[in-house]
Amino acid sequence: MRTLTLHSNNLDRAWAEIHLANLGHNVKVLRNLLPHGCELMAVVKANAYGHGDVKIARYLNRIGVFSFAVATIEEGIRLRTYGIKGNILILGYTDPHRLPELVRYRLSQTVVDYKHAKQLNASEQPISVHIKIDTGMHRLGESCNNTAEIESIFQCRNLRVCGIYTHLYVADSTQEDDIAFTKEQLSDFYTLLEHLKQHRIKLPKMHIQSSYGILNYPELQCSYARIGIALYGVLSSPSNRTKIQPELRPVLSLKSRVVLIRQIVAGECVGYGRAFSASRNTRIAVLSIGYADGVPRSLSCGKGEVLIHGCRAPIIGRICMDQLMIDITDIHNVKRGDIATLLGEGGSEVITAEEVAAASETIANELLSRLGSRLERVYL
Which amino acid, one-letter code, is at 57?
A
Residue 104 labeled ligand binder: no
In 3D space, the residue among 96, 125, 93 whose CA is nearest the CA of residue 111 turns out to be 93
Going by their DSSP bridges, the two strands 159-165 and 205-207 should be labelled as parallel
321 assigned to a ligand binding site: yes
Which has the closest alpha carbon to 126: 143, 151, 108?
Answer: 108
For the question of residue 45 being annotated catalytic, the response is yes
Longest dimension (CA), the chain: 80
CB neighbour list of residue 223: distance below 8 Å, 6 or more residues apart? 37, 38, 39, 163, 205, 206, 207
Q: What's the count of helices (H) and strands (E) in the chain, helices before strands?
A: 11, 20
Give the Cα separation of 295 and 356 in Å (integer): 9
Specify whether the CB–CB gap between 92 and 66 falls below 8 A. no
Catalytic residue among 212, 272, 303, 379: 272
Residue 41 dihedral angles phi and psi, to the nearest 5°: -105, 110
Catalytic residue from among 45, 132, 205, 255:
45
Question: What stretch of H or E contains 128?
Answer: strand 127-134
Q: Where are the alpha helices (DSSP H) in 162-267?
A: 176-198, 211-216
Specify binding-site residues for substrate.
139, 321
Please identify every residue annotated as catalytic.
45, 272
Residue numbers in the known binding site are 139, 321
